[in-house]
Amino acid sequence: MAYLETKGLEVSFDGFKAVDGLDFSVNQGELRCLIGANGAGKSTTLDIISGKTRQSAGSILLDGVDITDKHEHHRARAGIGRKFQVPSIFSELTVRENLQLAYSKQTSIRHNIFSWPGSAGRERIEEVVELTGLRDRLDTQASFLSHGETQWLEISMLIIQDSKIILMDEPTAGMTIGETQKTAAIFNSLKGHHTLVVVEHDMTFVREIAEIITVLHQGKLLAEGTVGEIEINPRVQEAYLGSGGISHA
């Protein structure tokens, strides 16, 4: 039974249907890549699943539970983590504070009033910081990080948040080749523990990490399958590859 499932998902901004009747499902522990041209509805789909935008129709099931009308923080507690296209971190706080906040096992006021930020999740933070190479940046203010480091900070926050399903919106945007490869290594290490939905344009990165790829086109599901199947799929080629192969999408 699929871990995350959307049925007939629809959202329209005064007439224009950004997402049009999308049925889409992801299994436990899988890494699903979501690709498509600009405006195909990739980010909007993530927005709806994470609760940032309200859908006009359709429903969302997480592990069998209907979360269609839940607030963002309820969805987050239910296990949905979201990485934004423009990295959204707490620029005025230090890296360590960002990570401490991400450790949000206990979200109630009663608990958080009587606990220090650093008391819980210390080892978890050490582990992740080791993984993403932010160890020596722990006490610098987040606004002083480079673009790559900011992306990794947000990725580290999502790992620490330990959400069951992580929605990544173009995590490698603006990264160097080396940084992208490092990110691919991190993602591969997450497979199995977490379910990942990654929206990406960089096909070399997609080819590194993808198992199944879903292609969106004008808010509808165009095709689904392995990298090989997608590359030779006529409808995908005709829809937006034009003449050349998939590589320079």
Residues that bind other proteins (CB under 8 A): 13, 50-52, 71-73, 76-77, 81-82, 88-93, 97, 100-102, 104, 107, 109, 111-119, 139, 157, 161
152 vs 246: CA distance, rounded Å: 27
| Shortest distance in whole angstroms from residue 249 CB to other proteins | 27
CB of 10 to other proteins, least distance (A): 17
What sign does the CA torsion over 104, 210, 151, 130 have? positive
Nearer to other proteins, 6 or 161 (CB): 161
The smaller minimum CB distance to other proteins, of residues 20 and 169, is found at 169
Contacts of 167 (CB under 8 A, 6+ apart): 46, 49, 50, 80, 81, 82, 83, 197, 199
Closest to other proteins by CB, 116 vs 242, is 116
Least Å distance between CB 228 and other proteins? Answer: 35
Q: Find the shortest distance in angstroms from Cβ 166 to other proteins.
A: 11
Tell me how crowded residue 189 is: count the other CB atoms within 10 A of its CB: 11
Torsion of CA 105, 79, 54, 198, to 10 degrees: 120
Q: How far is the CB of 93 from other proteins (least distance, A)?
A: 6
For other proteins, give the closer residue by CB, 182 or 219: 219
The burial class, CB within 10 Å (0-12 / 13-18 / 19+), for 21 is middle
Give 1 or 113: the residue with its C-beta nearer to other proteins: 113
Task: Count how many Cα atoms sit within 13 Å of the Cα of residue 153 in the half-sphere of its side chain.
Answer: 30
Give least dist CB 247 to other proteins, A. Answer: 33
118's tokens:
């650093």
Identity of the residue, 90 or 240, whose beta carbon is nearer to other proteins in the bound complex = 90
**For residue 32, what are the β-bridge partners?**
197, 212
CB of 32 or CB of 83, closer to other proteins: 83
Q: Rounded to 5 degrees, what are φ and ψ at 198? A: -115, 120
Ramachandran angles phi, psi of 173, nearest 5°: -60, 125
Q: Give the whole-angstrom CA distance, residue 194 versus residue 82.
A: 13
- In whole angstroms, how close is the CB of 196 to other proteins at the nearest point? 16
Angstrom distance (rounded) from CA 143 to CA 89: 9
